[in-house]
Amino acid sequence: MALALAIDLGGTKVEAALVDERGGIVEGSRHRAATGAAAASDVSVLARAIDEVIAQCRQHDRWGEVVAGGIGAAGPIDIAAGVITPINLPAAHGFGLVDAVRRASGLHQVTLRLDGTCIALAEAWLGAARDVRNAIVFVVSTGVGGGIVSDGRLVAGGTGNAGHIGQILVADIDGDPVDATLENRAAGPHTVAWARAHGWPGSTGEELAAAYRDGDEIARAAVARSAHAVGVGLVSAATLLDLELAVIGGGFSFVADDFPEQVEAVVRSNAFNAYAARLHVTRAALGGESPLIGAAALVHRPDLL
């Protein structure tokens, strides 16, 4: 059975695994290297982490079955050039990720896509968006990012950055446009900061979730603000793309058990057109395995690209 080398590159770690044609991660092949904050200022930290996880994968007794590599990376990216310009890794701007993976793995065929795109691919292949022809899949976590499936195919865009829903505007611009983005209004750290600015004494997303469950008014207002921003962003996406389904993943989406329902209610009450208002919002099905499964889909499921 042919295997893919799947790589997930984020702001603080690099992870790799061997994934089979059914989307299964091969036992004993999953390896992770933390880069921490150091990678933001020293690209060699990132390069060493990539070499390390690939070297560990190459020691697996099924390495000989690997036919190609797939990479999901924090963006922006440039798929034509094979380089990345991740927002949270300034030192890696212009880093030739595809070439680095080719050198470390010995594989000629290596495909790069945005990390959110890979999550969307995973959910479209084996998860909550399976058999759905028009969907947006995204995470609400430290940041907000995602990918789009339209008419049964992944939407990559001109440079590979389609699906960057976190950077769309969801509020009036008053000063810095960043303050009006979905990510700034909805992501975990920003929501915690908003709650603290309004008198809540906690400091983490986990504490905010507990306060929400206990009925704390500020915590509930903070979560509602996050859900409202996500819902408003989805109204724009659904209106533009005529979507059927929105799939939410990411750790902060669990700040409230009913977070998807809150988001869907915002969509219903703010959509101008009936087709946009029909958007159903649900949770992702694949959890922490989705970035690697999606990276492997770049190899195993070219029909979705």
The tens digit of pLDDT for each residue in 228-273 reads 999 999 999 999 999 999 999 999 999 999 999 999 999 999 999 9
Look at residue 173 in the predicted model and tell me its pLDDT: 76
Proportion of the chain above pLDDT 70, given as a percent: 100
Assess whether pLDDT exceeds 80 at residue 223: yes
Give the model's confidence band at 177: pLDDT under 50 very low, under 70 low, under 90 confident, else very high.
Answer: confident
Domains and CATH numbers, the chain: 3-114 (3.30.420.40), 128-284 (3.30.420.40)
- Name the amino acid, one letter, at 111: T
Look at residue 172 in the predicted model and tell me its pLDDT: 82
Q: How far apart are the first and last CA of the chain?
A: 21
Distances (CA, A) of 88 to 113, 188, 279: 17, 16, 31
Report the distance separating Cα 206 and Cα 188, nearest Å: 10
Residue 141 near residue 188 (C-beta atoms within 8 A): yes
Look at residue 87 in the predicted model and tell me its pLDDT: 85
Give the model's confidence band at 143: pLDDT under 50 very low, under 70 low, under 90 confident, else very high.
Answer: confident
Give the model's confidence band at 178: pLDDT under 50 very low, under 70 low, under 90 confident, else very high.
Answer: confident
Give the model's confidence band at 102: pLDDT under 50 very low, under 70 low, under 90 confident, else very high.
Answer: very high
Report the distance separating Cα 134 and Cα 120, nearest Å: 11
Give the model's confidence band at 153: pLDDT under 50 very low, under 70 low, under 90 confident, else very high.
Answer: very high
Q: Determine whether 133 is exposed, middle or buried from the number of CB atoms within 10 Å of its CB (0-12, 13-18, 19+).
A: middle
Residue 60 near residue 29 (C-beta atoms within 8 A): yes
Cα torsion 229, 186, 286, 235 to 10°: value is: 10
As a whole number, mean pLDDT of residues 117-142 equals 96
Distances (CA, A) of 108 to 52, 94, 96, 102, 235: 19, 20, 14, 6, 41
Distances (CA, A) of 261 to 189, 274, 283: 21, 18, 10
- Name the amino acid, one letter, at 156: A
Model pTM above 0.85: yes
Assess whether pLDDT exceeds 90 at residue 17: yes
* Residue pLDDT, tens place only, 49-82: 999 999 999 999 999 999 999 999 999 999 999 9
User: Running DSSP on this structure, what letter comes out for residue 282?
Assistant: E
How many CB atoms lie under 10 A from the CB of residue 110?
A: 21
* Tokens of residue 11, six digits: 């702001």
Assess whether pLDDT exceeds 90 at residue 226: yes
* Tokens of residue 280, six digits: 């159903």
Assess whether pLDDT exceeds 90 at residue 11: no
